[in-house]
Amino acid sequence: MDYNVPNENGFFGEYGGRFVPPQLEDVMKEITEEYFKIKDNSDFLEELQDLYEHYVGRPSPLFHAKNLSKKYGAEIYLKREDLNHTGAHKINHCLGEALLAKKMGKKKLIAETGAGQHGVALATAAALVGLECDIYMGEVDIAKEHPNVIRMKILGATVVPVKSGLKTLKEAVDEAFIAYLQDPVNQFYAIGSVVGPHPFPLMVRDFQSVVGKEAKAQFTTMTGKALPDNIVACVGGGSNAMGLFTPFIKEKNVNIYGVEPAGRGFKTGDHACTLTYGTPGVIHGFKCYLLQDEEGEPSPVYSVASGLDYPGVGPEHSYLKDIGRINYDCINDKEAIDAFFELSRVEGIIPAIESAHAVAFALKLAKQRPGESILINLSGRGDKDIDFVIDNYGKDYGISR
């Protein structure tokens, strides 16, 4: 299978590209040039590899979940990104972006954060590499995600409260962009997923693809088989999914599944199934499938997993959907919470609610494909979610505080 995207302008088919004001166009060109200079440079790659190994704790293990396998009838494997330093896959691209910013002579990393996961991973990378860090966060999210706000502050980052509009993620992105425009020379906007203008979807994918490369080799060592039959990951912006999927895209015998959040169900409007129900549009400097109203304004979206509720999605996923290489499906809140408890109780692993969407889908798939292997990207751990889960769902599972 021939697969070679994006093109030199950052387009994956009709998606991606760079839809930004003229001042940012030049900055993005400069970042692209610098990234292409270092991307295959052995000194840079060694430095990053050294951090992956001794700082993040890579390679993350591949775990054969034998209890689940026995219960559901397929051979289930978990790629343990939950065991990384800071508890999720985001540190993989934050370190890459921080090193690039440092090499470009930038003074400060800036970014938006919703639930605070990207903010914490970036504040961590900034502390390590020795850069200042400003994280833009809506006031509503600041109140909701208190532990992550404290973590960022302890790590030395400045959390900038965003007071406009709904005071959540979209406004935080808007304000971070405004701040970025004021000083794109000293600041570096470190985007938190495979989204945003070119080169970010490409760059974040490259940094995350360490996940898939490791998983592929580990699977073969562990099973003696060349390839898993099925691989599964949850999709918010789509970075953990692209990380796992990239080395498998050309392997046509591997079925690939991306899982979006159906929230309270499509009919309620409270969901973020962008690839299933969206239409092509432009958001935050790039073209993708988008949940939007008649004027092209992004629709309000919802999921029990704050890391998944984004109205857009990575341009490469949009392209992979159109060419039919990846199957995209949805899992609702209830199914995700069930899987959160199932993995906790059957394997002793508490997953992030985001990752629980991938687990829920894989357990359904297992019943349809008995005996086959299913490799799931367990993108993060659930420590951040325990209070929320107990307060909102504890009684359904017989637990109270």
Ligand X SMILES: *Cc1c(COP(=O)(O)O)cnc(C)c1O
Please say which residue, 247 or 307, places its beta carbon nearer to ligand X: 307
Which residue of the set 75, 81, 90, 318 is catalytic?
Answer: 90
Binding ligand X by CB under 6 A: which of 113, 124, 355, 373?
355
Binding flag, residue 236, ligand X (CB under 6 A): yes
Interacting positions 107-166 with ligand X (CB under 6 A): 117
Q: Render 301-353 in DSSP notation, one character per residue.
A: ---SSGGG--SS--HHHHHHHHTT-SEEEEEEHHHHHHHHHHHHHHHS--B-H
| Stretch near ligand X under the rule CB under 6 A, chosen from 131-139, 159-167, 238-246, 272-280 | 238-246
Binding flag, residue 278, ligand X (CB under 6 A): no
Pair of tokens at residue 91: 């540190």
Q: At CA 260, angle to CA 257 and CA 261, rounded to 5?
A: 145
Pair of tokens at residue 107: 């003074």
Q: Is 70 a catalytic residue?
A: no
Interacting positions 304-323 with ligand X (CB under 6 A): 307-308
Q: Is 90 a catalytic residue?
A: yes
Binding flag, residue 270, ligand X (CB under 6 A): no
Strand runs labelled E in 72-206: 75-80, 108-112, 132-138, 158-162, 187-189
Please say which residue, 311 or 380, places its beta carbon nearer to ligand X: 380
Please say which residue, 185 or 386, places its beta carbon nearer to ligand X: 386
Q: At CA 128, angle to CA 383 and CA 155, rounded to 5?
A: 50
Q: How many CA atoms lie within 13 A of 247 on its CB side?
A: 20
Pair of tokens at residue 150: 């404290």
Binding ligand X by CB under 6 A: which of 211, 338, 380, 385?
380
Give least dist CB 201 to ligand X, A.
Answer: 11
* Beta carbons within 8 Å of 135's beta carbon, 6+ residues apart: 110, 111, 112, 113, 119, 122, 123, 152, 157, 158, 159, 160
Q: Write each residue from 82 to 111 as x if it is in contact with ligand X (CB under 6 A), else as -, in one continuous string.
A: ------x-x---------------------
Please say which residue, 172 or 234, places its beta carbon nearer to ligand X: 234
Q: Is 112 a catalytic residue?
A: yes
**N-to-C CA span, the chain:** 53
Which residue of the set 171, 306, 379, 384 is catalytic?
Answer: 379
Give least dist CB 227 to ligand X, A.
Answer: 22
Q: Are strands 158-162 and 15-16 parallel, antiparallel or unpaired?
A: unpaired
Binding ligand X by CB under 6 A: which of 206, 329, 335, 354?
354
Residue with tokens 């972006």: 97
Pair of tokens at residue 8: 């030199």
Binding flag, residue 237, ligand X (CB under 6 A): yes
Please say which residue, 147 or 370, places its beta carbon nearer to ligand X: 147
Binding ligand X by CB under 6 A: which of 51, 157, 326, 352?
352
Q: Cis omega (within 30 of 0) on the bond before 59? A: yes
Could you tell me the maximum CA-CA distance found in the chain, to the nearest angstrom?
57
Please say which residue, 31 or 308, places its beta carbon nearer to ligand X: 308
Please say which residue, 18 or 384, places its beta carbon nearer to ligand X: 384
Report CA 305 to chain centroid distance, whole Å.
12
Which residue of the set 97, 112, 316, 354 is catalytic?
Answer: 112
Residues in contact with ligand X, total (CB under 6 A)? 19
Binding flag, residue 288, ligand X (CB under 6 A): no
Q: In this structure, how many other beta carbons lie within 10 angstroms of the beta carbon of residue 61?
A: 14
Give least dist CB 178 to ligand X, A.
Answer: 23
Residue nearest to ligand X (CB): 380
What's the rounded Cα separation, in Å, for the pair 330 and 272?
Answer: 9
Give least dist CB 310 to ligand X, A.
Answer: 8
Binding ligand X by CB under 6 A: which of 235, 244, 337, 363?
235
What's the rounded Cα separation, in Å, for the pair 218 and 223?
Answer: 8
Please say which residue, 91 or 184, places its beta carbon nearer to ligand X: 91
Q: Which residues bind ligand X (CB under 6 A)?
A: 88, 90, 117, 193, 234-241, 307-308, 352, 354-355, 379-380
Residues catalogued as catalytic: 90, 112, 379
